[in-house]
Chain A
Amino acid sequence: MEQKKYWQSFGELTNSAAHQQNAQDEFKEDLPFEGLDDKGLGSATTPRRDFLKYVGFSTAAAAVAASCEMPVKKAIPFVNRPVDAIPGIANYYATTYVAGGTAIPVVAKVRDGRPIKIEGNELSSWSKGATTAQVQASVLDLYDTARLRYPLAEKKEVSTFDAFDKMVGEALAGLNGAPLVLLTSTVNSPSSKAVIAEFLAKYPGSRHVQYDATSYSGMLLANEASFGSRLLPSYAFEKAKIIVSLGADFLGTWLNPVEFQHGYTQGRKVDPKHPGMSKHYQFESMLSMTGANADERFTHRPSESGAVAAALLGAINGQGASGISDAALKKGIEQAAKDLAANKGQALVVSGSNDVNVQLIVNAINEAVGAFGTTVNLVNKLQNYAGIDAEFVKLVEEMNAGSVGALLIYDANPAYDYFDAEKFKAGLKKVRVTVSFNEKMDETTELCKYVLPANHYLESWGDAEHKVGYISMLQPTIAPLFKTRQWQDNLLKWSGNTTSYADYFKNFWTARLGGEPTYLKALQDGVVESPAMVMGFPSFNGAGVAAALTAAVAGKKTSGQELVIYQKATFTDGRQSNNPWLQETPDPITRATWDNYAIVSPSLGKSMFGIDITNATQADEYEAFPKKPLIKVKQGAKEMELPVLIIPGVQADTIAVAVGYGRTEAIGKAAAGVGKNAYALTSFNGTTFQRTAAVTVEKAAGEYKIATTQTHSSYEGRYEVIKEITLADYVKNPTKILDARKKELEPWGGLENYEKDGTIYPVFDKPGIKWGMSIDLNSCYGCGACVVACTAENNVSVVGKPEVLRAHDMHWLRIDRYFAGDPNDPNSIQTVFQPMMCQHCDNAPCENVCPVAATNHSSEGLNQMTYNRCIGTRYCANNCPYKVRRFNWADYTGADSFADNQVGGKGENEVITMMNDDLTRMVLNPDVTVRSRGVIEKCSFCVQRLQEGKLAAKKAGRPLEDRDVKTACQQACAADAIVFGNVNNKESLVSKHRAENENRLFYVQEQIHVLPNVSYLAKVRNTGEISAHTQYGEPHFMGEGHGAAEGGHH
């Protein structure tokens, strides 16, 4: 049978010639490519089309050929994958941050062989996973370009360690019995102590001197007198209902702030069911960070600290606060004494003084209030400061007398931080053999003949016993970057021991812990804890108290200006002064970066500089311009010119200057030329170094710019920003804040329906995960650890002082600080700290204004930035009510498509290139985009961590839990002020935190209906009243009229 045939046209049916022709020619028309034989292009049949085609092709070809030259960057894969190294997956190693005697157990995050982030070690029972700003910043020190890279002899490179060992060995052999001194900061490492003992035994007549830049000699000696041994007790702030601090900045810098913050916090968290909290009195001269958190604060002259302690003791003993002329201060002391006496066994008094007599009196007070054995622990003592000032002074005398043969220095820098640095330098010249083991070039190392740089702690083996019974281990997280060697290795070598310190350390702990498995476990955990029971503590010997009382009162002055040398919570003693992250972290109180300065009281500001900060015009003038006047401070023969910052809350005649600044070019580019060295103004009173002094001051000519990140200090009665309440008020009327919120939102559907009724737009469901954060203002002390943690985690740029001066700082997270009270009455000043970051508003004003939709909302409630979509109109930043968006004004990170454009201009426009070295860039977190010039950036709620956490939960086949995700700021906080998680999960911490604390909960600027996802808990003050929130006399703006949402009484 013939096959059935389908046809489409008659042509096909009849198979006509025309059809055959058509079938053959695929294209009916002629293709336009005809031979151009002898005709020109112009006379071709379709010249215009051809022309366009040729143009198109040749342009494209030229573009491909000419413009796509990219710089070649080679990435060479491993031939064999190193064990445990999976690209893209971080490894975590437990180790210990060591700075002098301070040793904080940490976990280092290592990505592709590089440590990039430090977290606290949660296995440590005293640090509980908390860190400080210094710990967070320490990873950057590893990649510091100013690190010493090889051994030096008389400033020349020594090619091998062997050659160096030989050189020093010969030098030491040639001492001919002249004594050798090993000068270090406090050493509390058990294995290092053994190494030192071995080394000293090899050189008879040699000795070990410990010297701390921050001296606690006064306390050590006082405790020797009271308890028979030089010890530093540990303190249980959590057990104290009444805390009295006599100038001790225990939340910021004093002794062991990580532990104290944690303990203090426990007493300050307000249980919504049984509201109550500890009461904190602070007696001080300047406004310290700790003082800023106190419930009651009283100021006195620096020289009065002995008198205040004496009066307090007197008042507790029922003799009244004698010898105090200031009525308010006297009343404060009596009030504190009354509270202390009423809470025996639950009271604690600490003092920041380095005067033996003052510390003796404090011991007597603590004895009187039953603190020993309860809030003061004399058994599990702290071991982070052991230096005795007089011993070092004696050493300097000996050096000058030429009786020291060799000086081996590790981690001590007296040429910078000794009060009489010139004398030390002169003495050093008379020492025949000087060896420095310092990690970096510093003022002392510069003067040493031999320099063998030490490893950074992240490259080191070791151990530390910060607190008796609490050992923490160090293990290297990276091979030494440079030709450096651990100082213990040097001592072992030079004492003739051929074992390396790594082996020595291993043997030491294997023997102690009873076997290698336990040793490895200890390394893995990072901590070994075997605290002794708190019992049988030494009894108090009050013999010296009477004499101390007389001596302490004697130094009191009644006129003239006095100086307080203090430490910044962000910067401490200045050992990390070449760390740009720390330099750029604003001081909690002054909000200034990249400088030290003289803090003066408003009254001195008025009398000396004619700046009255209670006068609106003058205050504006003072705030709006970074130029500040200069003051000349004279202490004996020494004098120093410093710029002035006027800070309310500072005692009228007190001037405060921070240490850690005034470094030379050799220390590194971040530290060079920043501030003045205030150590030069300290003194020695025959027993201990003194951090206060009587000075004369005068106005100096000229002005100086200080880079502050916050200019205005009052929240101007804007209760939508900050809510505060007194404890008494809260107990009496727990729903006061909630009621005020309800009342304010009443016209827009009330609390429940505000989201829906407060807008004309449709409201969307928010199923699945919804990220949220809750911040307890009661637990934020302003220390800045979170700020540095955020910087490290999110590759936040460092911009340098000239840029901060122009308000170009890039921090994603800042801690706003507001003062309240009467500037003329320092005792009335109340301070509040408020961490402020992107609020991830559900109805975000930034999102709808972006013309290119570069910032948008995720289905999980994140307000996200798409950097490669951003064209940099800055409209979002303008429209952000919280002003948390940051713009890349220049190429801060070297990530720009224009090469070599980091130095835009001369002078002040120069962008500081702190973070662009290849070495420094190793610290960058590969999970976070390095932003280029011209785009906006802001807090992402650490979205990279959220993704990682979600994946972890998914892999484990379970719903997301709180433990899967922690933001960097949350993790760094010692006070657990920040709670984060999925608010759609009613069991999550953040949901509970919000639900349980509903009475204190508020959202900043709730009334504008941007629906933030960050909630705050109102600050509760255990005090009589909340000060008026108008820093400068009358409020700039109305405060009373809209008090509906006001939290406290004013």
Chain B
Amino acid sequence: MASLRYESQVREPLVTGAKTYHDVTEDIVRPIEAAPSRLWKIGFTISVLLLLFGVYSVYREVVYGIGEWNLNKTIGWGWDITNFVWWVGIGHAGTLISAILLLFRQGWRTGVNRAAEAMTIFAVMCAGQFPIFHMGRVWMAFFVLPYPNSRGPLWVNFNSPLLWDVFAISTYFTVSLLFWYAGLLPDLATVRDRAKEKWRKNMYGVLAFGWTGSTKHWQRHEALSLVLAGLSTPLVLSVHTIVSFDFATSVIPGWHTTIFPPYFVAGAIFSGFAMVQTLLIITRKVLNLNDYITMEHIEVMNKVIVLTGSIVGIAYITELFISWYGQNPYEMAAFKNRYDLSTPYAWSYWLMMSCNVIAPQFFWFRKLRRNILFTFFMSIIVNVGMWFERFVIIVTSIYRDYLPSSWSTYYTPSLWEVGFYLGTFGLFFTCFFLFAKYFPVIAIAEIKHILKKNGESYKANMGEEEKATVEHFTHENAHH
């Protein structure tokens, strides 16, 4: 039976290796059913150790005070909020891929969306640690929730961008989690149905929420996906916009910048895609999923990186231009403090510039876009650059602001500040390793969905269709 699943042969297949539906299931579920590999065990152990170190670092900070960090009277935020914005940014790719690309019917998203969404959730979890534990009195953190209380008209401050963050991040996390989980249901059911051990049956049975694969289930599933995609789409834009308001609404030169919302969103997608690259290049190798995460996927994402990297670059240059064009001496000073090589933090600005603006330009070359090693290297570079972007914005703006008397001494993080950051890496990878071991890292159902038009074998069959006349084609398809 022919259908209208036609796609040009010019586009490369998104699933290679002439897979059948059964092959797909086998390939993706196999790692879940097999014993963990040696590599997995090593990676997982390292992750847990990092996580434990992070827990100890946070313990010190909570018990002894923020003085365990090297922040000071001028620099109230340093690594903590830098890391927060960085992780939130990373958490942007997943939703973009699953929501916006779903709405735009981009077939290539199916190979990467599951892992990217998982990454989003874990990254947002990591991000959330920082605003919580950067509080001097974290045991009072619940004050940020607008709960009814007996203290008279005591309410949260709805004017504060930090409060907007609370809502933005928690909403984003909730929607992303639901979206991810809803997508997982059919696959979990597949794993359940294949399970032989009792615990496996039970666990996946519970997790699959009684999915039977009935048409009604599928119909509702599709509808839910669309609704969640619709909800998530504005979130992709709003979350980092709101995070940027933390800075943009302030009075501090270098923070008080109207360009921040689009600039932050572009930067977030930029860093998010870089992180997806980092993870998937490893995952496809370790789990032997080269047929599902193909060179095509990698190239497409590299194109997104060069696009968003260039947007970010334009934003940087616009910022500089506006600081000159606006002739506000304080803003000019803030930017001079970044680019002037004689100032203490100029190195971080130029590191950011090279990593985020100059380096991605190599992706104009197809050869480099399709080079795994180079892509992997670049994905790391971009994330280093994006970390420094946040560091530059936060630290180099406040360390020398209005009154020269308050200009700060040189800020370097303490061991526990770094430990907290490493700890979130531990959290992220611990979660990711568990995810890769116990969940299908690629959306089986969705891959099967595109197999017919984007699979290598189906593409080959298209040759026949192409040869047929238009009249024949219409005739063939009209009555079915």
CB neighbours of A620 from chain B (8 A): 342-344
Q: Which of B65, B70, B162 contacts A904 (CB 8 A)?
A: B65
Whether the pair B68, A879 counts as a contact (CB closer than 8 A) is: no
Is A1036 in contact with chain B by the CB < 8 A criterion? yes
Q: Which of A803, A834, A879, A1038 contacts B250 (CB 8 A)?
A: A879
Q: Which residue of B lies closest to A934 (CB)?
A: B136
Which residues B141-189 have CB closer than 8 A to chain A?
Answer: 141, 143-144, 154-157, 159-163, 166
Whether the pair A712, B67 counts as a contact (CB closer than 8 A) is: no
Whether the pair B406, A883 counts as a contact (CB closer than 8 A) is: yes
Whether the pair B73, A1036 counts as a contact (CB closer than 8 A) is: no
Is A871 in contact with chain B by the CB < 8 A criterion? yes
Is A624 in contact with chain B by the CB < 8 A criterion? yes
Whether the pair B407, A712 counts as a contact (CB closer than 8 A) is: yes
Whether the pair B135, A873 counts as a contact (CB closer than 8 A) is: yes
Min Cβ gap A632→B in Å is 26
Is A374 in contact with chain B by the CB < 8 A criterion? no
CB neighbours of B414 from chain A (8 A): 909
User: Dominant SS at the A interface?
Assistant: loop
Is A850 in contact with chain B by the CB < 8 A criterion? yes
Whether the pair A882, B403 counts as a contact (CB closer than 8 A) is: yes
Q: Which residue of A lies closest to B144 (CB)?
A: A851
Min Cβ gap A893→B in Å is 12
Whether the pair B332, A870 counts as a contact (CB closer than 8 A) is: no
A617 to B344, CA, bound (A): 8
Whether the pair B74, A883 counts as a contact (CB closer than 8 A) is: yes
Whether the pair B160, A869 counts as a contact (CB closer than 8 A) is: no
CB neighbours of A712 from chain B (8 A): 400, 404-405, 407
Is A890 in contact with chain B by the CB < 8 A criterion? yes
CB neighbours of A711 from chain B (8 A): 407-409
Which residues A881-916 have CB closer than 8 A to chain B?
Answer: 881-883, 885-891, 898, 901, 904-905, 909, 911
CB neighbours of B410 from chain A (8 A): 624-625
Whether the pair A848, B64 counts as a contact (CB closer than 8 A) is: no
- Contacts A845-B251, A873-B162, A934-B65 given; indicate if A836 touches B329 (C-beta within 8 A): no
Is B137 in contact with chain A by the CB < 8 A criterion? yes
A340 to B449, CA, bound (A): 100
Interface string of A806-822 (1 = CB under 8 A from B): 11110000101110000
CB neighbours of A625 from chain B (8 A): 409-410
Q: Which residue of A lies closest to B397 (CB)?
A: A878
Which residues B407-451 have CB closer than 8 A to chain A?
Answer: 407-410, 414
CB neighbours of A239 from chain B (8 A): none
Min Cβ gap A662→B in Å is 26
Is A740 in contact with chain B by the CB < 8 A criterion? no
Q: Which residue of A lies closest to B341 (CB)?
A: A617
Min Cβ gap B279→A in Å is 31
CB neighbours of A886 from chain B (8 A): 73
CB neighbours of B76 from chain A (8 A): 874-875, 877-878, 887
A909 to B64, CA, bound (A): 10
Q: Which of A818, A849, A891, A901 contacts B162 (CB 8 A)?
A: A849
Is A77 in contact with chain B by the CB < 8 A criterion? no
The interface-forming segment of A309-317, A345-353, A714-722 is A714-722
Is A988 in contact with chain B by the CB < 8 A criterion? no
CB neighbours of B131 from chain A (8 A): 873
Is A669 in contact with chain B by the CB < 8 A criterion? no
A814 to B73, CA, bound (A): 13
Is B66 in contact with chain A by the CB < 8 A criterion? yes
Whether the pair A878, B252 counts as a contact (CB closer than 8 A) is: yes
Min Cβ gap A811→B in Å is 9
Which residues B122-149 have CB closer than 8 A to chain A?
Answer: 131, 134-138, 140-141, 143-144
Whether the pair B336, A849 counts as a contact (CB closer than 8 A) is: no
Min Cβ gap B308→A in Å is 28
Whether the pair A888, B406 counts as a contact (CB closer than 8 A) is: no
Min Cβ gap B12→A in Å is 49
Is A935 in contact with chain B by the CB < 8 A criterion? yes
Whether the pair B409, A626 counts as a contact (CB closer than 8 A) is: yes
Category for how many chain A residues contact B: 35 or more
Is A1041 in contact with chain B by the CB < 8 A criterion? yes
Is A1008 in contact with chain B by the CB < 8 A criterion? yes
Q: Which residue of B lies closest to A843 (CB)?
A: B251
A934 to B69, CA, bound (A): 12
Whether the pair A816, B403 counts as a contact (CB closer than 8 A) is: yes
Min Cβ gap A802→B in Å is 10
Which residues A701-740 have CB closer than 8 A to chain B?
Answer: 710-716, 718, 720-721
Is B226 in contact with chain A by the CB < 8 A criterion? no
Q: Which of A808, A817, A881 contacts B402 (CB 8 A)?
A: A881
- Contacts A848-B160, A934-B135 given; indicate if A883 touches B403 (C-beta within 8 A): yes
Is B219 in contact with chain A by the CB < 8 A criterion? no
A718 to B68, CA, bound (A): 34
CB neighbours of A1008 from chain B (8 A): 251, 402
Whether the pair A1010, B73 counts as a contact (CB closer than 8 A) is: no
Is B28 in contact with chain A by the CB < 8 A criterion? no
Is A853 in contact with chain B by the CB < 8 A criterion? yes
Whether the pair B342, A1041 counts as a contact (CB closer than 8 A) is: no
Whether the pair B251, A816 counts as a contact (CB closer than 8 A) is: no
CB neighbours of A871 from chain B (8 A): 135-138, 140-141, 143-144
Whether the pair B143, A869 counts as a contact (CB closer than 8 A) is: yes
Whether the pair B72, A808 counts as a contact (CB closer than 8 A) is: yes
Min Cβ gap A552→B in Å is 40
Min Cβ gap A611→B in Å is 14
Whether the pair A721, B404 counts as a contact (CB closer than 8 A) is: yes
Min Cβ gap B256→A in Å is 9
A879 to B398, CA, bound (A): 9
Whether the pair B65, A851 counts as a contact (CB closer than 8 A) is: no
Q: Which residue of A lies closest to B142 (CB)?
A: A871
Q: Which of B63, B163, B409 contacts A901 (CB 8 A)?
A: B63
Whether the pair A1036, B160 counts as a contact (CB closer than 8 A) is: no
CB neighbours of B402 from chain A (8 A): 718, 720-721, 881-883, 1005, 1008
Whether the pair B342, A716 counts as a contact (CB closer than 8 A) is: no
Whether the pair A807, B342 counts as a contact (CB closer than 8 A) is: no
Min Cβ gap A205→B in Å is 60
CB neighbours of A851 from chain B (8 A): 143-144, 156-157, 160, 162-163, 166
Is B249 in contact with chain A by the CB < 8 A criterion? yes
Min Cβ gap A478→B in Å is 34
A765 to B42, CA, bound (A): 67
Whether the pair A872, B155 counts as a contact (CB closer than 8 A) is: no
Min Cβ gap A637→B in Å is 38
- Contacts A620-B342, A875-B76 given; indicate if A934 touches B137 (C-beta within 8 A): yes
Q: Which of B65, B144, B166, B327 contacts A888 (CB 8 A)?
A: B65
Whether the pair A901, B64 counts as a contact (CB closer than 8 A) is: yes
Among the interface residues A875, A890, A911, which one has the most CB atoms of the partner chain B within 10 A? A875
Is B319 in contact with chain A by the CB < 8 A criterion? no
Which residues A927-942 have CB closer than 8 A to chain B?
Answer: 932-936
A380 to B246, CA, bound (A): 64
A710 to B408, CA, bound (A): 8
Interface string of A823-861 (1 = CB under 8 A from B): 000000000001010000000010011111100000000
Which residues B69-104 have CB closer than 8 A to chain A?
Answer: 70-74, 76-77
Is A1042 in contact with chain B by the CB < 8 A criterion? yes
Whether the pair A1038, B329 counts as a contact (CB closer than 8 A) is: yes
A112 to B135, CA, bound (A): 36
Is A616 in contact with chain B by the CB < 8 A criterion? yes
CB neighbours of A764 from chain B (8 A): none
- Can you identify 6 A-B contacts, CB atoms within 8 angstroms? A624-B410, A851-B163, A879-B251, A904-B67, A909-B67, A1037-B336
Beyond A851-B143, A853-B160, A1036-B336, list 9 extra A-B contacts (CB 8 Å): A621-B344, A807-B409, A871-B141, A882-B403, A886-B73, A889-B67, A891-B65, A934-B65, A1041-B329
Question: Which residues does A use to contact B, with CB under 8 Å?
Answer: 616-617, 620-621, 623-626, 710-716, 718, 720-721, 803, 806-809, 814, 816-818, 834, 836, 845, 848-853, 869-875, 877-879, 881-883, 885-891, 898, 901, 904-905, 909, 911, 932-936, 1004-1005, 1008, 1010, 1036-1038, 1041-1042
Closest 7 pairs between A and B when the two form their complex, measured CB to CB: A872-B136, A934-B136, A889-B67, A807-B72, A904-B64, A874-B76, A883-B406
